[in-house]
Structure 1
Amino acid sequence: MKLNVVERGPERTGTPSSAPPVVLLHGLFGRARNLGYFQRRLARDRRTLAVDLRNHGDSPHGQMDYTTMAFDLTETLAAHDALPATLVGHSMGGKAAMTLALTKPDAVHSLLVADIPPARTGHGSFGLGEEMLKISFPSYLNRTDADALLAEKIPSADVRNLMLQNIRLGDNPGWIIGLSDIVASMTNIEGWPYIPEGHSFYGPTLFLAGGNSPYIQPEHHRVMRRLFPNHRFEVIEEAGHWLHAEHPERFAQLLEAFVAG
């Protein structure tokens, strides 16, 4: 499946042609443009591609698992002549990036994974998706009324803002994303694919964690060392799972230093 891509840069002259492109991958219920701030910063010097993963943004819909999503990325980036690439993935996007690095290491130059381990994770997204499917849309909907509609099921304003981008407003409103496919695939999304023994990615890898996030636990570090032996681990203190949104400047500093290195 070829995915929707937003491409930018490099905007400055003299950028080395040998520098791998940087590919930005959003998390569950996100989309490429969520990472626009970081893409614009990186595009000053590097070719960048922000990708809508399947069922998200303007990409096609279908059943999801990480092996399939990694194949989507390979097909899409090959079509854009963007391999090998530096992959930057948050949450679900991080798992897709790790899967690609482990199954097709020649396609990945380096890897930054934001607040997700190579392991099964689950912190309430399944219930959120099911609640969203229960929403009955009126014949016309503006943003204010859409926010009020979501507030009945989502008390968090930050989460509502994330979900609002996935609603088609105006006449005949509804979900833009493949919500039914996402909910049907949630066990796979929260899971982690089988990686055969001996598969590791030896390229430069950075795991970033939010200091207040529950996702990366001490027991995950052993498998991180086994699968990604050339990795570093850093924590953005006072940040939760949405570390790039909560502390964008610190995240951008760490991202830019990693990409430059």
Structure 2
Amino acid sequence: MALNTLAVGTAGPRIAFLHGLFGQGRNWNQIAKALAGPDGTEAQCLLIDLPDHGRSPWTEEFSFEAYADAVAATLREAAPGETWALVGHSLGGKTAMVVALQHPELVDHLVVVDIAPKDYGSLERFEGYIEEMRSLPLDEIETRADAEERFEEPHPGVKAFLLQNLRSDRSDGRPRWRWQANLDLFAADAARGHESRIAGWPTSVDALPPYEGPVLWIAGGESPYIDPDDSETMRRHFPLTRQLTIKGAGHWVHTDAPEIIVEALRRVLGRDDPD
């Protein structure tokens, strides 16, 4: 499966970014531009749309193992024989962990943002978003402003984040709106309740050797996604883990504290002094 990517920067160490559920690779664009530097030569960043998101192909059944294989194939195609610092947030963080476990030869540094290698129970907290998006009458939408007015999500930030998935294809001069996110797949997974694969953790990787490379585990200080008890499981799979908790940041850490994330990633890339 060929995944859609956006390259930022032309030289320097390689770093790839994986987004969370309902996201797209370009959610990391601000961070990538800062790392690449003003002339684009300080880092080579690759922003990846995961399967079922953005402009990447859809799947018929969710699987972290398959997501990880698709990411690995994308990294190999982008830079044959090279290794990457791999950064993943939430859903992308779990995918990045599975990439490191299944394809350790590709990953020289791993950065996991506000997620743990565990089963979170269900997609209950996302079911409302899925229903909101599926209930938007796409055939009646004329403009993006019309979509924003009709979309019922009350939180402005969440609304903007979800509506980034809405795209129009013009045919006969009339826009035809569609969701880039695979909402039917997500809804089917949410309907599995506590057997949700997206909320879960693939037990198949528990039999794999631990990833022996350096791992930076970033947590939002105001986020509920990482508990102290998760450290034991994390270090079982990733023994060289060090944790960074960012005070005041929620689950979308890279949005709440972009300057701190940029500085942390500069250190990962061996650029302690960006000047």
SS in structure 2 at match of 1:55: coil
Q: Distance in 2 between matches of 1:199 and 1:130?
A: 39
Q: Which residues of structure 2 form unaligned runs of 5+?
A: 169-173, 191-195
In structure 2, distance between residues paired with 1:251 and 1:7: 19
Distance 1:164 1:10, change over 3 A: same
Quick one: which of 167, 179, 191 aligns to 1:175?
179
Q: Report the equivalent of 1:41.
A: 34
Q: Deviations over 1:67-122 (max 9, x none)?
A: 01001011111111254211001111110000011122112111001100011225
Residue 32 of structure 1 is matched in structure 2 by 25
* C-alpha contact (below 8 Å) 1:25/1:90 kept by paired residues: yes
1:56 corresponding residue in structure 2: 53
Q: Aligned letter for 2:32?
A: Q
2:137 maps to a residue whose letter is: S
How many angstroms does 1:259 deviate by?
2.1
Query: How far, CA to CA, are the matches of 1:163 and 1:119 in structure 2?
Result: 25
- Identity %, equivalent residues: 36
Local SS of the residue matching 1:188:
coil
In the alignment, the residues of structure 1 paired with residue 73 and residue 232 of structure 2 have an alpha-carbon distance, to the nearest angstrom, of 31
TM-score, normalised with respect to structure 2: 0.86
Structure 2 residue matching 1:254: 3-state secondary structure: helix
Where does structure 1 lack aligned partners over 5 or more consecutive residues?
none
The equivalent of 2:72 in structure 1 is 74
Does the 8 Å CA contact 1:139/1:173 hold for their aligned counterparts?
Answer: no
Q: What is aligned with 1:192?
A: 201
Distance 1:160 1:55 in 2: 19
Tell me the alpha carbon deviations over residues 159-200 of structure 1, each in whole angstroms, 9 at most, x when there is no partner: 111111111246222212222123224421111111234521
CA distance in 2, matches of 1:100, 1:185: 21
Write out aligned runs for 1:113-152 (5 A).
113-121=112-120, 122=123, 124-150=125-151, 152=152
1 CA distance for matches of 2:92 and 2:207? 23
Q: Is it true that 1:7 corresponds to 2:7 in the alignment?
A: yes
Conservation of the 8 A alpha-carbon contact between 1:55 and 1:177? yes
Distance of 1:239 and 1:222 partners within structure 2: 23
Q: Does 1:205 align with 2:215?
A: yes
Aligned to 1:160: 159
Report the equivalent of 2:171. Answer: none
**Count of paired positions:** 252
